Amino acid sequence: MTTLMFRDALRQALREEMQRDPRVFVLGEDIGRYGGAYAVTKGLLEEFGPRRVIDTPMSEGTIVGAAVGAAMVGGRPVAEIMYVDFMAYAMDQLVNQAAKIHYMFGGQINVPMVLRTQQGTGRGAGAQHSQSLEAWFTHVPGLKVIAPAIPADAKGLLKSAIRDGNPIVFLEHKGLYALKGEVPDEEYLTPIGVARVARAGDDLTLISYSRGVHVALEAADELARAGIQAEVLDLRTLKPLDIDALIASVRRTRRVVIVHEATLTGGLGAEIAARLSEALFGRLLAPVQRVAAFDVPLPANSRLEKLIVPDAARVVQAARAVLNFSPQETIS
């Protein structure tokens, strides 16, 4: 095991896959000489040269489109879009093209590409640079969506994504790049579609992903101080959802809080809540609670920004509500 920062773990994954497979290459804005806006690709240009580390013009749509085309004819592109917000320029290439090509053309071809992008709050970057848009992608059949929370998964999942053979949206969180964690020394792959128990517990389940996992863990620590043992599940893969793992945990704890940084309405939490409420109808001791960003855009003001997205205090509050829930309140 070595302690690595999240961004370094990602870079290791890219390096290893580029060394393993000459078809793997990366492309995007400012990923070469600059090393990436968040320094993930730093040094790759020097190591692999400009044919495999490609600084593109500012053209998000065609960065994604080019990745799709290259993937179709034998390449294994890993495209970087600097902020997920800019995916608004490239939804056609991702959704109407990448996600549908395998199906639309009768399975004749597939699109083995990875789209890395970065999202979330934490820098007071404002309404156009802080969104969390995973729900757009998880709604699209044909895509897989990954959002790791810790360096080890960042590495293992990125490697798996590169080998998967389907178009994959790989969501990093701007607030996690400097996070440190243990990463195995030997080569490994983290399976896509399998959730992780970030902390075991029996009193309730906190479900999250990406930076939300750390918010949940912080809340769990606080709950533990009050003698409450929360289980924290890290989805890791958002699509396909490891619903069985979620159901298994909640069947046991019978209480659940979902945490995410995307806005509440129509966030991924809605899907999870809908499924758990259905699968565990009559088994739950309290309604599923969602702690998400309030339904507003994000201010370019770090202090105000914090008021909108979930923090540990809100998660604790929701957890207490779930724990103290008395059914009489709603049965009428």
Partner 1 sequence: MTRIRLFEERTLEVLMQGKLASTMCHVSIGQEAVAAGVCMAMQPQDYLTSTHRGHGHLIARGGDLARMMAELMGKATGYCKGRGGSMHITDMALGHLGANGIVGGHIGIAVGAGLWSSLSQNRAVTMCLFGDGAVTEGVFHEAMNMAAVFRLPVVFVCENNQYAMSLPWSKSTPAVDFKTRAAAYALPGVDVDGQDVAAVYQAACAAADRARRGDGPTLIGAHTYRFFGHSRGDPSAYRDPEEEKRWRARDPLPLFKARALAEGWLDEDAIVRIETEARQAIDAAVAAAEAAPPAADSVAFEDVYAPSGAQQLIDKAVSA
Ligand X SMILES: Cc1ncc(C[n+]2csc(CCOP(=O)(O)OP(=O)(O)O)c2C)c(N)n1
Q: Shortest gap between Cβ of 95 and ligand X (angstroms)?
A: 13
Q: What is the 3-state secondary structure (H, E, C) of the chain?
A: CEEEEHHHHHHHHHHHHHHHCCCEEEEECCCCCCCCCCCCCCCHHHHHCCCCEEECCCCHHHHHHHHHHHHHCCCEEEEEECCHHHHHHCHHHHHHHHHHHHHHCCCCCCCCCEEEEEECCCCCCCCCCCCCCHHHHHCCCCCEEECCCCHHHHHHHHHHHHHHCCCEEEEEECCCCCCEEEECCCCCCCCCCCCEEEECCCCEEEEECCHHHHHHHHHHHHHHHCCCCEEEEECCEEECCCHHHHHHHHHHHCCEEEEEEEECCCCHHHHHHHHHHHHCCCCCCCCCEEEEECCCCCCCCHHHHHHHCCCHHHHHHHHHHHHHCCHHHCCC
Judged by CB under 8 A, the stretch of 150-158, 192-200, 223-231, 323-331 that binds a copy of itself is 323-331
Decide if residue 109 touches a copy of itself (CB under 8 A). Answer: no
Decide if residue 128 touches a copy of itself (CB under 8 A). Answer: yes
Cβ proximity to a copy of itself: between 270 and 323 the closer is 270
Decide if residue 269 touches a copy of itself (CB under 8 A). Answer: yes
Instruction: List interacting residues with ligand X (CB under 6 A).
Output: 29, 58, 60, 82, 86, 89
Q: How far is CA 250 from the centre of its chain?
A: 21
| Contact track, partner 1, 133-152, x by CB under 8 A | --------xx-x--------
Binder of a copy of itself out of 21, 47, 182, 295 (CB under 8 A): 295
Cβ proximity to ligand X: between 58 and 104 the closer is 58
Cβ proximity to a copy of itself: between 53 and 87 the closer is 87
Q: Shortest gap between Cβ of 126 and ligand X (angstroms)?
A: 11
Within residues 226-265, the interface with partner 1 by CB under 8 A covers: none
Decide if residue 330 touches a copy of itself (CB under 8 A). Answer: yes
The number of residues that bind a copy of itself (CB under 8 A) is 61
Within residues 37-76, the interface with a copy of itself by CB under 8 A covers: 61
Within residues 102-121, the interface with partner 1 by CB under 8 A covers: 102-110, 112
| Contact track, partner 1, 76-95, x by CB under 8 A | xx-------xx-xx--xx--
> Does residue 129 have an active-site annotation?
yes
Decide if residue 327 touches a copy of itself (CB under 8 A). Answer: yes
> What residue 28 binds from ligand X, partner 1, a copy of itself, none (CB within 5 to 8 A, per partner kind)?
none
Decide if residue 192 touches partner 1 (CB under 8 A). Answer: yes
Looking at the annotation, which residues are catalytic? 129
